[in-house]
Amino acid sequence: MGKARLLVLPLLLAALLLTTAWTGQVAIVGPGQEGVSGDFEIFTWWTAGGEADGLNALLEVFQERYPDVNIINATVAGGAGMNARAVLKTRMLGGNPPDTFQVHGGQELIASYVVTGYMEPITFLWEEEGWLDVFPQDLIDMVSYEGEIYSVPANVHRSNVLWYNKAIFEEYGLEPPETWDDFFEICDVVEADGITCLSLGDVGIWATVHLFESVLVSELGAEGYQALWNGELDWTSDEVKGAFELLYQILQHVNEDHGALSWDQAVQLVVDGEAAMNLMGDWAEGYFTSVGWTPNVEYGWVPSPGTAGTFIVVTDTFGLPLGAPNRDAAIAFLRVLGSVEGQDAFNPLKGSIPARVDTDRSLYDEYLQSSMDDFAVDTLVPSLAHGSAAPESFGADFGTVMSVFVATGDVDLVSSAAQQICVANGICQ
């Protein structure tokens, strides 16, 4: 070894030691990290407490791994994507896609974007990352079409959860309701003292549709609910009409200003002790966490009345739009999203359980652990209000019909209108 090389080696070692001392760790450049830079636009509707926290935590992991990427966190406020989805559609149709965007697994992804040719298959990524072995087949099916996979599930949310204020329940000696009859009895007690029984924030009508899907499952059972989406059960059937009638009775027990509130403002009514209960997907759990509430301390939960054993699945996914301006960064982001680290950064704050089955359970609170347990054994059915059960066109028209129903309570009108929409969307004969 020559003298020059003898000198260079200690210098290199010293430099390495210095870097280590300064950053606390040796920078390790993993596969795919080199050369990923530039603007990266991610499009979601996650602006409320809990949702935004989860997204930020996920983006932090991404930024750490890909420090040269400039993240553009594009959000359009409005629960369930009530505004964002329209903006997205315009952009996609106009050939101006973001690099990746939030989309529900199931019909919202497949019918709106995959069949119509707006997405690139990412089966290669699933194979490279070994995800086929660590995501449940039910979820893989929701993001697949004709043998190709089109997105990466970030999470699993449960739609049919009833949340309640524990202090109120303790004060009045109440037990959480198992049936809608139990629910109405609780309403009699709390309303006598001026407390709203069920808070609702349906400034976007989706929140009433959300409530209704729980009512449908309670009245039809998981099988009957599924039969609606196979076109085997008519919307004009007595069972469905019964569900509309029940919904109308429930709506007599919500806050008067429900049409002016968003979903998180409705959850806040429970936090403030102005309402006893709220029926919302478990992004409400993320909201409770964001205001410092702890499960089984300040709030409790049960499956929405009459739905124990059924898990209405909502899954947020992200894919690769054809023509994504920064395809490399989008793929890099999807790798992070599907990783254990990404899922475990996002989900404990978001109020959802990880889509992967091999993550660190100890990072999840008592509610989320109970949701993991239920997800593993319950009958899984897709959400109507959150894009999985039926195409977006059905959901949009159904929302209009639901607005009429909230105002009129006309069961015959609403059920025959729903049947027409079902036929028009090719679901029913």
List residues near ligand GAL by CB under 6 A: 45-46, 51, 79-81, 104, 157, 263, 283, 314, 316, 386
Q: Is the dihedral of CA 353, 51, 406, 276 positive or negative?
A: positive
Q: HSE (CB half, 13 Å, CA atoms) of 341?
A: 11
| Distance in Å, CB of 139 to ligand GAL, minimum | 14
| Distance in Å, CB of 44 to ligand GAL, minimum | 8
Cβ proximity to ligand GAL, 315 vs 326, nearer residue? 315
Tell the burial category of 98 from Cβ atoms under 10 Å away from its Cβ (0-12, 13-18, 19+). Answer: buried
Cβ proximity to ligand GAL, 163 vs 283, nearer residue? 283
| Distance in Å, CB of 45 to ligand GAL, minimum | 6
| Distance in Å, CB of 101 to ligand GAL, minimum | 13
Q: Under a CB-based contact definition with an 8 Å cutoff, are residues 246 and 180 in contact?
A: yes
Distance CA(232)–CA(428), nearest Å, equals 7
* Identity of residue 132: L
| Distance in Å, CB of 185 to ligand GAL, minimum | 30
| Distance in Å, CB of 227 to ligand GAL, minimum | 24
Q: Which of 344, 386, 348, 340 lies closest to 367 in space, CA to CA?
A: 348
| Distance in Å, CB of 61 to ligand GAL, minimum | 18
Q: Which of 342, 279, 292, 341 lies closest to 316 in space, CA to CA?
A: 342
| Distance in Å, CB of 184 to ligand GAL, minimum | 27
Cβ proximity to ligand GAL, 112 vs 415, nearer residue? 112
Distance CA(318)–CA(64), nearest Å, equals 20
Which residues is 157 bridged to in the sheet? 314
Cβ proximity to ligand GAL, 84 vs 190, nearer residue? 84
Cβ proximity to ligand GAL, 157 vs 253, nearer residue? 157
Cβ proximity to ligand GAL, 55 vs 228, nearer residue? 55
Q: Under a CB-based contact definition with an 8 Å cutoff, are residues 308 and 373 in contact?
A: no
Q: HSE (CB half, 13 Å, CA atoms) of 83?
A: 11
Assigned token pair, 184? 């109405």
Distance CA(193)–CA(191), nearest Å, equals 5
| Distance in Å, CB of 20 to ligand GAL, minimum | 40
Radius of gyration of the chain (CA): 24
The DSSP result for 197-238, as a single string, is EEE---SSTHHHHHHHHHHHHHHHHHHHHHHHHTT-S-TTSH
Cβ proximity to ligand GAL, 40 vs 45, nearer residue? 45
Cβ proximity to ligand GAL, 50 vs 303, nearer residue? 50
* Identity of residue 412: D
Cβ proximity to ligand GAL, 85 vs 335, nearer residue? 85
Which residue's structure tokens are 């403030």?
Answer: 272
